[in-house]
C-alpha cells in the first residue's frame, strides 16, 4: 500500500538519542546519590516517556524519596543537553525529504517532552511537524497523540502508517487502528519487535521506503 501520511516515532527510529539520554539520566541519578545506569539499561527503559524512564532507572521507582524533584531535574538538564551526541540514523534525513517530495505528509510523534522533541526536530528535520508529550494528551501507547497529529495534518487514518522501533510503537499503532512498519535499527531489535507482534519490519532505510511507498 502507498500511504499518504507517515508518522514517525523519534527515539530509536529517526534519531539515535541514547547517549544523551543516558548522560541525562546518570547526571541526575548520581547527583541524588543513586547508582548510574548502563546505556543498555537506559535503552530498555526508553519509550514510555520521561516519567517511566526515571521510574525504571530507580530501584524504588516512583516511591523513591524526592522522585518528582529527580524527574523535574532530569527534564530540565536533558532539555539543555539534547544535542550533544544525538544524530539522525544514516539515511533518515534523505528518506524524510524523499517522502515529502513524493507528496507524502510526514510528521514525528514522540513520548519525549514536547519542548525537547521540537528542539531536536528543528535542528535535524526543519519544517517537519513534531508532537511531543504534553500534559493534556495521553502519551503512547494511548492513541491520542496519533489522532492529534493526524488532525493537525488533516490526514485520514485510513491512509496513515505509523513507524517505530519498540513494543510501545507496536501497541500505539494497534490502539490507533493504523498500519505499522517497525524498524530494527533502534532500541529493541528485530526479535523483540516480532515478539511484540510487528509483522512488517524494515532492516534498512531502503526497505522502509519500499514498505511505505
Known catalytic residue at 9: yes
pLDDT of residue 126: 96
Buried b (16+ CB within 10 A) or exposed e, 192-211: bbeebebeebbeebeebbeb
State the Rg of the chain over Cα. 17
Do 5-16+86-212 and 18-80 fold alike per CATH? no
Tell me the pLDDT band of 79, cut-offs 50, 70 and 90: confident
pLDDT of residue 1: 66
Residue 139 and residue 49 in contact, taking contact as beta carbons nearer than 8 Å: yes
Cα pseudo-dihedral 72, 73, 78, 84, rounded to 10: 180
For residue 204, CA distances in Å to 13, 163, 207 come to 11, 13, 5
Model confidence pLDDT, tens digit, residues 90-101: 999 999 999 999
Mean pLDDT across the chain: 95
Which residue is catalytic, options 9, 11, 16, 23? Answer: 9
Model confidence pLDDT, tens digit, residues 31-68: 999 999 999 999 989 888 889 999 999 999 999 999 99
Q: Is the pLDDT of residue 102 over 80?
A: yes
Cα pseudo-dihedral 196, 110, 82, 39, rounded to 10: -10
Nearest to 16 by CA among 89, 81, 79: 89
pLDDT (average), residues 69-74:
96
Tell me the pLDDT band of 169, cut-offs 50, 70 and 90: very high
Tell me the pLDDT band of 115, cut-offs 50, 70 and 90: confident
pTM to 2 decimal places: 0.91
Domain boundaries, the chain: 5-16+86-212, 18-80
pLDDT (average), residues 136-155:
95
Tell me the pLDDT band of 30, cut-offs 50, 70 and 90: very high
CATH architecture of 5-16+86-212: 3-Layer(aba) Sandwich (3.40)
pLDDT of residue 6: 98
pLDDT (average), residues 138-165:
96
**3-class secondary structure, 53:** helix
- Domain 18-80 adopts which CATH fold? DNA polymerase; domain 1 (1.10.150)
Amino acid at each position: 500500500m502507498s500511504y499518504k501520511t507517515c508518522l514517525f516515532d523519534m527515539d530509536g527510529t529517526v534519531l539515535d538519542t541514547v547517549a544523551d539520554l543516558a548522560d541525562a539520566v546518570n547526571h541526575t541519578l548520581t547527583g541524588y546519590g543513586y547508582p548510574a545506569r548502563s546505556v543498555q539499561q537506559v535503552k530498555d527503559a526508553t519509550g514510555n516517556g520521561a516519567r517511566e524512564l526515571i521510574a525504571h532507572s530507580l530501584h524504588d521507582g516512583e516511591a523513591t524519596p524526592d522522585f518528582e524533584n529527580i524527574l523535574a531535574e532530569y527534564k530540565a538538564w536533558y532539555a539543555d543537553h539534547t544535542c550533544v551526541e544525538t544524530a539522525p540514523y544514516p539515511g533518515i534525513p534523505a528518506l524524510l525529504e524523499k517522502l515529502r517530495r513524493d507528496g507524502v505528509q510526514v510528521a514525528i510523534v514522540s513520548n519525549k517532552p514536547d519542548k525537547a522533541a521540537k528542539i531536536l526536530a528543528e535542528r535535524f528535520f526543519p519544517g517537519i511537524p513534531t508532537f511531543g508529550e504534553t500534559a493534556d494528551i495521553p502519551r503512547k501507547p494511548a492513541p491520542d497523540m496519533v489522532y492529534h497529529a493526524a488532525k493537525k495534518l488533516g490526514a485520514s487514518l485510513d491512509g496513515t502508517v505509523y513507524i517505530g522501533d519498540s513494543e510501545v510503537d507496536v501497541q500505539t499503532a494497534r490502539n490507533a487502528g493504523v498500519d505499522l512498519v517497525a524498524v530494527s535499527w533502534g532500541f529493541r531489535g528485530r526479535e523483540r519487535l516480532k515478539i511484540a507482534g510487528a509483522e512488517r519490519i524494515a532492516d534498512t532505510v531502503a526497505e522502509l521506503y519500499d514498505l511505505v511507498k
